[in-house]
Structure 1
């Protein structure tokens, strides 16, 4: 596989590890400074809202800077802002903490579409399935490991050492992205021809142009909205209310979910030639599997069965995730791909925020089981819409 792709994934892995760890750290520090659960809960809300804004704004940069340079600049500024965040955090200035947190989230929202759009430029089309599965394995493993170990590290060593670790990870990520900067001379994007406002609308125009792409974005929106039922807070409520077992099972269920994700990524990587020929059906199977498993999950009372079903959810999510990324990279031209990814970033981030708010209201007023049943229904709707999309993808150019 292309060495530049490996460096791209490595840089994003260090960046992702730093992001998870600093969120863990900041939530704890904000709670200790304010003793306010509301302020602590504003951390993910702030990050979600800011990433939505960045998804709208980032197209302005695509015709002004090559994608590798966007990654490098974003990561460099993140390292600089994080130094300020460390200094401000120790003085307990909560308003400045939230401002700097927003700036970091904005830069993440700029770098992610650029990173995703670079993958088909660094690997050949027949290797896209293997490349996307590799990226998924690395990112999911890092995410799971950092969420699991971040809290333990924080409890043992405190916030100060953890913030230093995060800064070190950001510096390493910056160094890795520096090594691919030379690709900017090879991968120059089109010269600027449009106004900033027109550039912000470019991805949305591409979505409007193709009916299959509109369906694709709609599926992504619904998928992201219902995906919130697998975030840690919602799973914790399910373990407590529906299963009636200790919080230890919360950790095991989360581990089972990530095991399914990672295991499927490895299988897809090993058998990519089989998956490559059936991408559209694989996505369909992924949605069907998620709907069935999630619906069953809502009705169970046995903790062991919950572990098995969590593995199934991870398997299904990974199948459709790799499939949808690969199809988008195959069907959208390299020039337009960053703009479409920016639209997808904005849409899915907004959906996640709406989903989190809606799920919280439903869980509080009607019970946690109904949350998972509704989620299963939306996943079936995703499957139906994807079936329509599956037929249109081959018809439109």
Structure 2
């Protein structure tokens, strides 16, 4: 745990995640300030989801490319965007194009980040490393949006982009300093995943509850939260950062509760899923009709807490029914289906907000959430 490789590992992960958060914060605010259009914000969110998905599926082809090369290309793109925006009003298409490329590179770099664990030869250290990085990721997500909101108050979106470039340059130096492994790992290609989607389509239909859950998740996406804070609460970007940070606080609390009371939660998992679904449904209804900032922050905290615990319990109940030999293939195919569904749902959500307002989106999510309650409790979806 005291090796230089390990220190590179956690420092690189820390800076890379902050870079992604700051970039998303800057891009979302820039796009909305330029257009004041929920539809355009939905398009940029669609490109973010698809870009990350493409990066994750392309890693089987491009995995041999050095992480330093990928980071170098990403840094150049960020520098071009900052330079272009400094001298003239950057076009919306250019922002969309750069965002897609940056998120593709993020998806590719994520695989290189995972392979760094192979540098830790001792098994205990490797397990300790994984646990440490799990806590680190939560801490970064918790603090990243808060810090981004604070930075926005001081240096605006363009300044955050410059900070993002600086962090990306530091990550580039780190990746150049880390030796490359000749050994690679097998990663499923896009075609493999699509074949899996077709192969296990009957299972996806049987577990259509995941479709409903994916649609409900749309209201927790950063860009939709931005529209909620801006249009419903009439607050600025600082409070958007606070809302995101509060949401991740709920996830962190759920993580600790699950570790401490894991056996109790598993013993009463179906009853707990019913309770969490009910609470989330009520919270979504209150978010659709409430405008008090303090109450909204509390509701987001409760929603993220219950949603995280519910997802963990549903996942545990789901994998109990699956043949362990087929579990990886099923999860890959299901993840592909849900990612595509989420990307499409974001576009539909953007259109709804553009035409009818963000309040309707939370009402729709509330209805879908109430539908899941009898399915979980009385149905045979996870029993």
Same fold? TM cut 0.5: yes
Q: Which residue number in structure 2 is paired with residue 52 of structure 1?
A: 50
Task: Tell me the distance in 1 between the aligned counterparts of 2:194 and 2:76.
Answer: 30
- Please say if 1:316 is aligned against 2:313: no
Confirm or deny that 1:234 pairs with 2:192: no
Q: Does 1:390 align with 2:382?
A: yes
Instruction: Please list, as runs of the form range in 1=range in 2, the aligned pairs for 1:83-232 lying within 5 A after superposition.
Output: 83-92=79-88, 93-94=90-91, 95-110=93-108, 114=111, 134=135, 137-155=138-156, 159=158, 161-174=159-172, 185=183, 188-189=185-186, 198-199=191-192, 201-205=194-198, 207-208=200-201, 210-211=203-204, 214-215=207-208, 217-227=210-220, 231-232=225-226
Deviation string, structure 1 residues 289-323 (Cα, Å, up to 9, x no partner): 21122223445576554443232112123324555
Structure 1: how far apart are the matches of 2:28 and 2:143?
19
Residues 189 and 36 of structure 1: is their aligned pair in 2 closer, same or farther, counting only changes over 3 Å? Answer: closer
Count of residue correspondences: 367
Post-superposition offset of 1:188: 1.9
Q: Distance in 1 between matches of 2:66 and 2:319?
A: 19
Contact 1:232 1:254 in 2 (8 A): no
Aligned to 2:36: 37
Q: Does residue 271 of structure 1 match 2:271?
A: no
- Aligned-residue Cα RMSD (Å) equals 4.9
Whether the 8 Å CA contact 1:53–1:346 is kept in 2: the answer is: no
Q: Distance in 1 between matches of 2:317 and 2:113?
A: 13
Q: Structure 2 length normalisation: TM-score?
A: 0.70
Name structure 1 gaps, 5 residues minimum: 392-397
Q: How far, CA to CA, are the matches of 1:180 and 1:286 in structure 2?
A: 44
Distance between the aligned counterparts of 1:116 and 1:271, measured in 2? 29
Residue equivalent to 1:16: 17
Distance in 2 (CA, whole Å) between partners of 1:132 and 1:272 is 22
Question: Are residues 90 and 150 of structure 1, via their aligned partners in 2, closer, same or farther at CA, if it must alter by over 3 Å?
Answer: same
Q: CA deviation at 1:86?
A: 2.7
Check conservation: 1:31, 1:37, Cα contact below 8 A. yes
Query: Does the 8 Å CA contact 1:51/1:349 hold for their aligned counterparts?
Result: yes
Given that 2:149 and 2:239 are in contact with CA atoms closer than 8 Å, whether structure 1 keeps it comes out as no
CA contact (8 A) 2:19 2:164 kept: yes
Residues 264 and 319, structure 1, Cα contact 8 Å, conserved in 2? yes
How far off its partner does 1:218 sit? 1.4
- 1:235 and 1:204 mapped to 2: Cα distance? 36
Shift of 1:197: 6.8
Distance 1:168 1:221 in 2: 35
In structure 1, the residue matched to 2:346 is 352
Gaps in structure 2 of 5+ consecutive residues? none
**Separation in structure 2 between the aligned mates of residue 74 and residue 53 of structure 1, nearest angstrom:** 14
Alignment of structure 1 residues 56-95 onto 2, 5 Å:
58-62=56-60, 65=63, 74-92=70-88, 93-94=90-91, 95=93
Deviation per CA, 1:2-58: give whole Å up to 9, x if none: 9999976764443332233234444666688xx6435x9735523423532652674
Q: Deviation at 1:105?
A: 2.7
Give TM-score, length-normalised by structure 1.
Answer: 0.68
The answer for the alignment partner of 1:395 in structure 2 is none
